[in-house]
Chains A and B, each alone.
Chain A
Amino acid sequence: MIGNSSPPRRRGPSKKKKWVPAFAGMTLVLSTPVAIADSNLPPAYWSNRQLPDPEQEAKAQDLMAELRCLVCQGQSIADSDAELAGDMRDLVRRRIAAGEKPSTIRGWLIQRYGTWISYKPTDEPAAWPLWLTPLALLLAGAWLIRRRIRLRSKD
């Protein structure tokens, strides 16, 4: 989650490199774990492994990119390093390998976490502005263009 690389070590005296210890201190402070503990178990088997069948793996990838991580909210489970995201990738890959359809797996997760878990826009009323805004913008654009053309032709 917080991936900090240590600052470059400089050897030998250098007057201009006063910022190095300050930067090192800042990195140390920023990389201190903030009560986010991780378990001591290794990642689940399929969390960071591709399925042998490329077609199934592609299906799994498409689905994982559209599922929201519960820990690093705003990331997809395909992007997140959280353990729970890894376990969800494992779950998705195992189910796809077992022949389950991506839509069934998505539905199963929505049943547990609500539509929150899925990035795919739904057709429920809350999402209507999302679908209607491009249409409205297109119409507004057409109106503006028409107005321009009319003004020009009057000249």
Chain B
Amino acid sequence: MSRGLRLIPIILLLWLVVGLAWRLVKPADTAIPSQMVDRPVPRFVLPSAVSGKPGLAAADLATGQPHLLNIFASWCVPCIGEVAVLGELKRRGARIDGIAVRDTPGALTAFLARRGDPYERIGGDPQSEVQIAFGSSGVPETFVIDGKGVIRRQYIGALNASNMPGVLRELEQAR
């Protein structure tokens, strides 16, 4: 066997070690972006999730005005912090609708009373069906939807104060 061939195992080992080290230092992104961005919202009709608030259907998201669609749940810990950001966005003119995933009216009412309620409409999605139809893989997620009902942008994870200018700009552009 020639000398060059003998080096192959060592080169393979080095390649493996470098590859593993690189992934340790720079872990892969585990967020799964929705392929529904730039497509119209999927057809759906969801019943009201809490008494005194209308449910949500695809038609409510194509009213000629841009909307924020927040996919959330009362049992979701990061959603607690996000409600305050959504409240501030609402004060600055954003229209916010919600889809409550796997939630009960009682728990949701308590959540909204305690943490604040920025939502115009909330649809209840007890089997994550509409969440899946949006290509969303967890809570919370927020979609920017334009006046024609086309999804413009997806935010994976809780919105925070630093996201606000961007979201407001995108809503302005989505008119």
Residues of A within 8 A of B138 (CB): 70-71, 84
Chain B interface residue bracket vs A: 20 to 34
Cα(A110)–Cα(B35), bound, Å: 8
- Is the pair B132, A87 in contact by a Cβ cutoff of 8 Å? yes
Residues of B within 8 A of A5 (CB): none
- Give min CB distance, B6 to chain A, whole Å: 15
- A131 at the B interface (CB under 8 A): no
- Is the pair A37, B75 in contact by a Cβ cutoff of 8 Å? yes
Which of B35, B73, B78, B127 meets A114, CB within 8 Å? B35
- Give min CB distance, A38 to chain B, whole Å: 7
- Give min CB distance, A100 to chain B, whole Å: 14
Which of B32, B73, B127, B137 meets A44, CB within 8 Å? B127
- With A37-B77, A112-B35, A113-B135 in contact, is A83–B128 under 8 Å at CB? yes
- B147 at the A interface (CB under 8 A): no
- A153 at the B interface (CB under 8 A): no
- Is the pair A71, B73 in contact by a Cβ cutoff of 8 Å? no
In A33-78, the 8 Å CB interface with B consists of 35, 37-41, 44, 70-71, 73
Seed contacts A35-B77, A39-B103, A83-B128; 10 additional CB < 8 Å A-B pairs: A35-B78, A37-B76, A41-B126, A71-B137, A84-B128, A87-B127, A90-B127, A110-B35, A112-B134, A113-B135
